[in-house]
Amino acid sequence: EAQVTQNPRYLITVTGKKLTVTCSQNMNHEYMSWYRQDPGLGLRQIYYSMNVEVTDKGDVPEGYKVSRKEKRNFPLILESPSPNQTSLYFCASSLSLLTAKNIQYFGAGTRLSVL
């Protein structure tokens, strides 16, 4: 089954404790992206990747890191989480950047609480 898998689904942590949210897709997609979703603000793009070893900042990259060492995986790293990073996070992937094919497929989401 074609899917985007995020782990964990739920995470409660404390300020300053490094964490990684994993994202994996099995569709051989080139493009992957991380978003956070907050009430009233909608989805905001954190980082995106056009292909292996090619990543760039979205609109809200501060406090986050990403890597793309393999095509299928795109982990999101919070080196020193803070309470303002409490949010619902979505990973998404799409086949390519050509508009007709840039339909994004989303993972189920990771709800993160930083205390």
Partner 1 sequence: GQNIDQPTEMTATEGAIVQINCTYQTSGFNGLFWYQQHAGEAPTFLSYNVLDGLEEKGRFSSFLSRSKGYSYLLLKELQMKDSASYLCAHQGTGGFKTIFGAGTRLFVKA
Binding map of partner 1 across residues 60-89, x = CB under 8 A, - = no contact: ------------------------------
Helix H or strand E encompassing 34: strand 31-38
- For position 105 contacting partner 1 by CB under 8 A, the verdict is yes
List, in sequence order, every residue forming a beta bridge with 91; answer none if it has no partner: 34
First to last CA, the chain: 36
DSSP letter at 80?
Answer: S
**Nearer CB in complex with partner 1: 69/99:** 99
Q: Using the rule CB under 8 A, which residue among 53, 59, 70, 79 binds partner 1? A: 59
Q: Using the rule CB under 8 A, which residue among 42, 80, 84, 112 binds partner 1? A: 42
In this structure, the chain runs to a length of 115
